Structures are given as structure tokens and as C-alpha cells.
Structure 1
Amino acid sequence: MPAKAVNNVVVNDEKEKASIEQRSPAESFEARADDDAELLAPEVRQAAERRLVRLLDARLMPTIIIIFIMNYIDRVAITSAKLQGLTQDLNLTDLQYTTVIAVLYATYVPAQIPSNMILNRISRPHYYIPCCVMVWGLVSALTGVTHDYTGIIICRLFIGLPEAAFYPGAMYLLSRWYTRKELAFRGAIIYGGLLVSNAFGSLIAAGILGGMEGKMGIAAWRWLFYIEGAITICVGLLAMLLLPDYPHNTRWLTPAQRRLAQVRLAEDAGEADEDGQHETAFSGFMMAIKDPKVPIFMVMCCSQLLGLSFVNFFPTIVDTMGYSTTITLLLCVPPWILATIVCATNAWHADRTGERFFHHCAPWWGVIVGYIIGVTTMTTAGRYIAMFLMACGYAGFALTAVWVSNAIPRPPAKRSAAIGLVNGFGNIGNLIGSFTWEAQWGPQYHQSMYIGIAAMGLATVLSLVIRFMLVAQNKQLAREEAEALNNPDHRQRIEDAARLEGLTFEEVVERKKGIRYLY
């Protein structure tokens, strides 16, 4: 139901609306003033904000992390199933198996952009995201009933559509709740769910593949899809109860908490985190694609994911060390545990310092070192050390959507489109990478690693270009702030921020002079 303005107060809760409508104008104004005084009073503001962030951390973060764990477990289950006879049972050639890996991205990549545009326009993301989770869980379970190449190709195509809604959607949802200084660490914690999922996925797969073979006359790899898909559907149902909507309409927050959530984001950017009157999903898309930073981010993300595409073949690469299926899957766990720790530590330090470029690129340089080790030795110890360095490279990717959100903060329509564009186009790197780890190049995979080194080098150069652009934009902001106030849309957002915070227009303008892009 659309929000209703009552005495200049945006109201989304029906009980709150009825209560306000029964007041006289004087009583409504006094109640609003009392709420503002309680909210913004220095002696309570800091404690209230800490309580709000803790509440979000307790509900939003664990829910998204668990979904993310299931997201990647479902997506890469096929790599574990391959070790236990999937390709033999379905009579897949090496090229067909590679196509099965790659075809997911044919729907996953293009669907991310419209999905994020939809997410920015709907009012209840706590329904939209969980419904997508349940759909991909169902498709994942159905993968277990396939009996030929056509069937598994269809499943992989359809699982890409609902999965496309999740990661860029989750990062956009976080950007609607957390400030710039809070976002990197929490974004990385969520991405840590992906890294942990590689560890948990291998453990779960080892247990299922090792203990379910032949149960009820069903192959173990089919049980892997049935069980993981069923768990994902249950997680989706639970997420409907836990996920928030947006700061102005989340039902399990009090009116004062909703207002505080809006005020703190307005303070963080110097303007309200709301779309202007004439800003639509399409206009946000056009603003994003015309921003020169966005195409560079897109190519940079594509290049880094090409360099990180080993993730889709991680068990296969570890299998080159010559151990049994169970031991191979167990050996996959420690690199991803370390990668999760590195990811969280790197993002925490990025938030503390406000620096983005080196925190983004340094983990990639570790991947390059890992590839160099991989092409110079086939010893078990050397290859396994390389696995650790390669896995830790995802600590850099974890900051990509965060950096996009920092570099393209307003309006929300533009930010949501930018995140979808960057992550969507970036996953073309995974699509290409599906064909760069050719079975005929194993067990050394030297050609694959050379491609990875080149891709990481290009991503580093493009990240440096983005850094220079943001430095230049910060300097330009300092020169043009006074002129920007003559822009009606820009002025309106600052007026909205002033209204939310109970400040004068001049006070918000003065504070906004300290707002700059993070690089």
C-alpha cells in the first residue's frame, strides 16, 4: 500500500496513520516535535543509533549470510557431484560438462540489472528476495531428477534467474540501511558467507556423497541436490520473517527507529536517500550507464571474476593432488576458512581507514602469486599453498559492490542500477572462466593460470583508473558545490535531508562540504 502524507509526515503503518489522522494539526505538530526531540537529543541519539544497528545486525546480517551460504552451495554442488559420477550417469562429455557450468551465467548475468531495478521500486523486499530463494531451491532439488544433458541444461538455465536477484539485491538492501563507514565490513561479512559456503559445501558434499550412495536406490549425487535444495526452500521461508524492508516502512521497527534510520543515512551523504519526483527505474539505469565510472567498474569486475573463476573448479583443481574424493573435498575446507578470516579483517580495516583501492586490489596480488607458484611447481605442498592464496583473492571481490555503492551513492535508482550493471556484467568473467579451465589443460592448468594472471593485472589497472577518477571528482566537488545548489533535483534532496533531520537548509549545506567519495 502506498505511503500517505499526513501533516507532512510520511506514514506507512496503518495504526500510526489512524492515530495521526485523529490528532488536531496542533497536536500532530507537537507530537512530531516531541519525537524529533527524543530522537535527535544528543544524550539519547548515540545510544538509540547503536541499538538500531545492533537490531539490524541481529536480523538482517545472519539472514543474508545464511542465504548466501545456500546460494553458492546450490550453485557449485555440481562440481562436487562430478566427483561422484554425475558426468558418467548423464553421459556428459568434457565440453558438455563445461557448458553445463557456463550456461547458468546466460540467465544469471542479464537478469541482475532488471532485478535490482525492480527491487528499488517495490516496497516489500522481504517478500521478493525470499521468494527468489525458494524458487532456486526448488530448481536445485529438481536437478537431482535429470537423466540427460538436456535436462540438466534446462535446470541450470532456470536456476540462474532467481539467483540473479540475490547478491546485488542484498548489497543494495544493505546500502539502504548502513552508512559508508559501516558498509564495507558488513558487505564483506556477507560475502564471507560465500567463502564459508565453499567450506561447508565441501563438508556437506563429503558427508552426503560418502554416506548416501544407493540409499533408496538413488545415486549419492542426486541426494546432494535433493537435500541442499530442500534446505534452501526452508531458509527462504524463514527469511520472510526476518528480513527488513526499507527504513521508511519496516514493520518491526518503531516510528522513531524508522525515522532515525532515514536521518543517519541522510547525514552520511548530505542528502536524503530517496529518489526524486521524476527519478524512475529507467532514469536510474540511464544515469548509471552514462556515469563513466560504471562501465570501468563493469569491465574491472568482469576481469577480476575471470581471474577468480577457479572457484567453479576448485574441487577439480585440488583433486590433481591425487587423493580420494572424500579427502579431496575435506582439503577444500581450510583455504576457504582462511579466506573468510582474511575477508572480514580486510573489510574491517577498510571501514576504519575509509581506503578502498589497496584493500580491493591487494588480495588479487596474492592470487597472482598463487598462480605463479602453480605454474612453477607440481609438488603437493606448493600447490596447496597456492590454493590458500587463490581463495583469499575473494577478499578483494567482496569490496566491489561496496565500492560501487560508495562511488555512486545517490540517487538510489542510480545506485541500484549501477550495482546490478557491475555485478551482472562482471559475471561474464565467470562465464568466460568456465571455458578457461579446460580438462585437457590439466593437471597442470598452466594456460588457465596465465589467463588468470593477465586478468588480475587488467583489473588492477582499471581499479587504479577508478581511484584517479574519484580523486578528481572530490576536487571538482569542492569547486562546484555552490553551483550545484542551483540544480532543482539536487536542492530538493538536500531540503529533504534538512526536513528529516530538523536542520536548516544552510546547516545541511555546510555539513555536506565534508562529504566526499571513498577511494
Structure 2
Amino acid sequence: MADNITTAGQRHGSLDKDHHAQLQHDDDVAQQKQASFSMDPERRVAVEKSLKRKLDARCSLFVLIYIMNYLDRNNIAAARLKGLEEDLNLDYDQYATCLSILYVGYILMQVPSNMFINRIERPSLYISCAMLLWGLISTLSGVVHNFGGMVATRFFLGFVEAAFLPGALLILSKWYTRRELTTRNALLFCGNLISNAFSALVGAGILSNMDGTLGHRAWRWLFWIEGAATMAIAISAAFILPDLPHNARGFTDEERHVAQLRMAEDVGEADTDSADQGALGGLRMALADKKIYLMMLTFTSYVVGLSFNAFFPSLTETLGFSYVPTLLMSSPPWLFSCLFSLVWAWHADRTQEKFWHVVGPILMGVVGFVISMSTLNIAARYVALFLQAGSYAGFIVFYSWISSSFPRPPAKRAVAIAMINAFSQLGNVAGSYVWKMEDNGYRKSYGIVLAMFGVTIAGCYAFKLVLVDLNKKIAAGEMDPWETKHDVAVQTAQIEMDAGAVAAERQHMREFRYLV
């Protein structure tokens, strides 16, 4: 009897604590929303302009980090050209294992990492520490002497690198509205595109000049130099990258306040998690959302279709030129892709349209694949490489489509980004087997990626239909905007708001629509 009373009392105390935390959360939301109706418009514009200028400057470091992320992941391919296989006594299957094992660690860590980064106050320090660690692991790749050592370093490299891309996408989604996010994602992915353009040239420079230096093979210097550069950048990242809108260093109190208001106004709710969700709340919500599974399958097909990027020098080699001209000719298509992606992403933000901004570049890639399959003409095949690289622009828009399709709560968005990105890495594993068929200028390989682009288009169209249906239900009042039981919290928060604010808030929620 006494035990039952004690247990009931503990349970009641726990409920009171959770209720108090929820009320505190709702009070914070109410204060943010009330302030949005009281700030002078001219002052708001000035503060917001200053905020975005500082934010863009700080987030530009993500581009450099992504360049190093890609270089450290793929420098093993360049090292292979200068004796890595011979020195480590690797056969082809063992080398392929060294390549693919990275994605095992990469896939395993993405969801736990993003769940963690969503709950900490200083994500900049987390990403900096992860970068410092993967730079160290990359450096250690230059001292291994056998197959087992290389497999171990590659696995842990992928395990640690998994923190960066989904974490960076999550941080950007906490600062930028849906109207701004695609362009910022495009700037981030410029790091990947720039790496595609110049990684072979950087590798060639080191491998051509460092062989025998201090008694070491050039491929070992490749790991040491690029790993050391990564660690140096990691230290600066701890001081430059932004944290969260409510606690970021380098911003005024007013700027931080406006940053939170912008995100609340974007979809009609503050970008915060409720106090009673728990550590696994976002995971449970994500697993229950059928939209995620459709995006996972569609995105994986897209990644298989884009697998040509890892074999781009080999595809350029089919033009018939020697080693150095081939490397030089591999860069311009990716420079074009970088510029085209920025313009395309800007237009996607301007129009707030997603489907055609994903499918359009895919159709460009389809034309490039067809040209490569149907002719051996050198000029035509080189133009086709530009079209294929340009298909990457839709890939960038797809990432912002993920964020805008799971806007609230942040815990669910964090898991959605990580789950979709992690599952899509299976496309990289499959893609490594697509490009073994070298006959007739990789014609059969092009046929496979062409089919995968067709699957991607079908998946995007199905996803569009799902969102259109959800928008109709929202308009009819049959469901709340982001499919969560949030109405009670909103009503509680509105107690502190005047009648005009309440009316405007309810109208904003009714007007919310998924971007299609």
C-alpha cells in the first residue's frame, strides 16, 4: 500500500515536472511570437540584414570543410596510382573492400550523430571535434602497412565523417527559412563540386613531386598533407561556425532574437522541440512517417544515377587523350556544374517550387547519358560530360526538399535528414559496381544509370502527389500542418498573446503548405 502511494507520488511529481517544462517551453514560444508583432519594421529589416550578412560569412566555412571531407574520403583512389596496392600487397577485391568499408561506418553513424547534434547547445564544437578526428584518421592512413590496417582506418574515417554533412544541413535548416535554404545548400555543395573539379589535380601535384621525400612513398605524403590541412581547418571551425539562433556567439541579442522570429514565422511555429519528446521522440516520429521511406528509395536511385562522378576521369579518358590532358579536361564540367547549381538553387528559392527544379537537371543528365551511349564523336561526348555534371543541381534542390517536407519538430527533421542521407549511401556502394563495364565507352553502364534516373523521376512525381494531397487536407482543416499533436501547446502559448496576434497566428498555420 505504502509502496503504491510512493510510486503514485513519484509519478505525480514527474508529471508536474514535465508539465512545468512544457509551460516554460510554451512561454518562450509566446514571447517570441508576441515580439514579432511589436518590433519596429524598419529596425527589423536592418537587424535581419546584419544577421544574414554575418551568418553567410560564418557558414561559408562549410564549403571548405566539405572540400576536405571529400578529399580525405577519396584520396585513396589517387594513392592507388602511385603504389598503394603494391606496398600493402592488396589484390583488387581487397582494394574494393577498402573503398566500400567506409560507407559501412558512414551509414551506421549518421542517424545517432544527428540525433545527438540536435540536442546539444554547441554543434560548432561537435563538428570541429569530428573534423579534427577524421583528419587524424586520414593522416594515420599514411602509416599503415597491410590490408587490415587500411580497412580499420577507412571504417573509422567513414564513422567520424558521418557527422558532417547531415549535421551541416541540420544547422543550416535551423537558421535559414524555406525561401533561403536551397541557395545556402547549393553553396555548401559547391565544396563537393569543387572537389570533383580539382581533387585529381591536387593529388597529381603531390604524387608527382613527393615520391622519396624523407624516404617515404608519395602516396603516404598524400594522406599526411591532406590530413594535416583538415586538422588545421578544424581548429578554426570551432571559432567560426555558428551554433544555434538563441546562443550563437558573434551575434547581438537583437540579431539572435530576430533569428528565432524568422524561423517561427516561416511555418507558424517556433523551431524548438517540446519538453516531453525525449531523446528518441524524433526517431519515433520519423519512423512513423511514410514520406521518409519514399524519399529514401527515390534518393538512393538518384545517387546510383550520379555514381559517374567517382569515375569521371575514366569517362573523360574515353575521349582518347593522355593522362595530363584527361585530368585537365575533367575540371571544366564540374566548374560549370557549380555555377549552374548556384543559379538553379537561387531560382528554386525565388519560385518556391521543388519538383521541376529536381527533375529538370535530371532530364539534362538523361540527354548526356543518351549522347554518350549513341556516339563516339569526341566533341559530342565532351558536351555530354557537361550535361551529366549539370544533373547534380537537382541533387542539391532535393536536400532542401527534405528539410522543407519535415519542417517541425527539429528532432524529427534531424532524423529525417540523416535517415535519407544514410540510406542513400547504399547507392554509392551499388554505383561502384556499375562502372566495371568499360566496353564501347561504358555504354552498358550508361544504360543502368539512365534507368536509375527514370526511377528517380517516378519517385519524385509520387512524392509530389503525396504532398499535394497533404496540402489539400491542411486547407480543408483535416490535419495540422506538420502532422504532430501540437494544437494544445499552441493554444497554451497563445494565452499570452493579444487577440490580433492569435488571429494572425491561426491564419499563418492555416496558410502553411508543403513545397511541391
Aligned equivalent of 1:148, options 146, 149, 170: 146
Gaps of 5+ in 1: 13-31
In the other structure, the counterpart of 1:513 is 510
- Whether 2:344 is the aligned partner of 1:346: answer yes
- Whether 2:468 is the aligned partner of 1:457: answer no
Is the alpha carbon distance of 1:98 and 1:502 closer, same or farther for their aligned partners in structure 2, counting shifts above 3 Å? farther
- Within a 5 Å distance, the mapping from 1:40-51 to structure 2 comes to 40-51=39-50
Gaps of 5+ in 2: 1-19
In the other structure, the counterpart of 2:487 is 490
C-alpha RMSD of matched pairs (Å): 2.8
Separation in 2, partners of 1:148, 1:456: 39
Is the alpha carbon distance of 1:486 and 1:180 closer, same or farther for their aligned partners in structure 2, counting shifts above 3 Å? closer
3-state SS in 1 of match to 2:507: helix
- Within a 5 Å distance, the mapping from 1:319-334 to structure 2 comes to 319-334=317-332
3-state SS in 2 of match to 1:253: coil
Separation in 1, partners of 2:265, 2:472: 21
Is the alpha carbon distance of 1:94 and 1:160 closer, same or farther for their aligned partners in structure 2, counting shifts above 3 Å? same
In the other structure, the counterpart of 1:403 is 401
- Whether 2:56 is the aligned partner of 1:52: answer no
Contact 2:303–2:428 (CA under 8 A) maintained in structure 1 = yes
Aligned equivalent of 2:363, options 365, 368, 376: 365
- Within a 5 Å distance, the mapping from 1:416-495 to structure 2 comes to 416-438=414-436, 441=438, 444-480=441-477, 489-493=486-490
Separation in 2, partners of 1:74, 1:336: 19
Separation in 2, partners of 1:117, 1:216: 44
Separation in 2, partners of 1:363, 1:120: 32
Separation in 1, partners of 2:114, 2:453: 27
Is the alpha carbon distance of 1:484 and 1:430 closer, same or farther for their aligned partners in structure 2, counting shifts above 3 Å? closer
Separation in 2, partners of 1:497, 1:165: 37
How much does 1:374 deviate?
2.1
With normalisation by structure 2, the TM-score equals: 0.89
Is the alpha carbon distance of 1:399 and 1:321 closer, same or farther for their aligned partners in structure 2, counting shifts above 3 Å? same
Separation in 1, partners of 2:403, 2:175: 12
- Within a 5 Å distance, the mapping from 1:38-437 to structure 2 comes to 40-60=39-59, 62-437=60-435
3-state SS in 2 of match to 1:294: helix
Contact 1:131–1:236 (CA under 8 A) maintained in structure 2 = yes
Is the alpha carbon distance of 1:171 and 1:486 closer, same or farther for their aligned partners in structure 2, counting shifts above 3 Å? closer
Amino acid at match of 1:454: A
Structure 1 window deviating more from structure 2 (41-50 vs 203-212): it is 203-212
Is the alpha carbon distance of 1:38 and 1:469 closer, same or farther for their aligned partners in structure 2, counting shifts above 3 Å? closer
In the other structure, the counterpart of 1:504 is 501
Separation in 2, partners of 1:443, 1:230: 41
Contact 1:90–1:148 (CA under 8 A) maintained in structure 2 = yes
Amino acid at match of 1:397: F
Contact 1:71–1:163 (CA under 8 A) maintained in structure 2 = yes
- Within a 5 Å distance, the mapping from 1:27-38 to structure 2 comes to 36=35
3-state SS in 2 of match to 1:355: coil
Is the alpha carbon distance of 1:497 and 1:66 closer, same or farther for their aligned partners in structure 2, counting shifts above 3 Å? farther
Separation in 2, partners of 1:155, 1:304: 28
Is the alpha carbon distance of 1:435 and 1:37 closer, same or farther for their aligned partners in structure 2, counting shifts above 3 Å? closer
Separation in 1, partners of 2:492, 2:189: 35
3-state SS in 2 of match to 1:399: helix
How much does 1:365 deviate?
1.8
Separation in 1, partners of 2:498, 2:253: 14
Is the alpha carbon distance of 1:305 and 1:483 closer, same or farther for their aligned partners in structure 2, counting shifts above 3 Å? closer
With normalisation by structure 1, the TM-score equals: 0.88
3-state SS in 1 of match to 2:353: coil
What does the per-residue CA deviation read over 1:373-399, in whole Å, with 9 as the maximum and x for residues that have no partner?
A: 222233433332222222222111112
How much does 1:436 deviate?
1.8
Separation in 2, partners of 1:42, 1:123: 30
How much does 1:39 deviate?
7.4
Is the alpha carbon distance of 1:515 and 1:248 closer, same or farther for their aligned partners in structure 2, counting shifts above 3 Å? same
Is the alpha carbon distance of 1:447 and 1:97 closer, same or farther for their aligned partners in structure 2, counting shifts above 3 Å? farther
Amino acid at match of 1:405: S
How much does 1:40 deviate?
1.6
What does the per-residue CA deviation read over 1:80-119, in whole Å, with 9 as the maximum and x for residues that have no partner?
A: 2233333333333333332222221111112111111111
How much does 1:246 deviate?
0.9
Contact 1:313–1:437 (CA under 8 A) maintained in structure 2 = yes
Between the aligned residues of both structures, percent identity stands at: 41
Structure 1 window deviating more from structure 2 (402-411 vs 362-371): it is 362-371
How much does 1:499 deviate?
6.4
Is the alpha carbon distance of 1:503 and 1:328 closer, same or farther for their aligned partners in structure 2, counting shifts above 3 Å? farther
How much does 1:420 deviate?
0.5
Is the alpha carbon distance of 1:495 and 1:374 closer, same or farther for their aligned partners in structure 2, counting shifts above 3 Å? farther
What does the per-residue CA deviation read over 1:449-492, in whole Å, with 9 as the maximum and x for residues that have no partner?
A: 22111111101100111111111111110112687899863341
Separation in 2, partners of 1:258, 1:265: 11
Aligned residues: 493
What does the per-residue CA deviation read over 1:391-410, in whole Å, with 9 as the maximum and x for residues that have no partner?
A: 22211111222101101100
Separation in 1, partners of 2:241, 2:188: 14
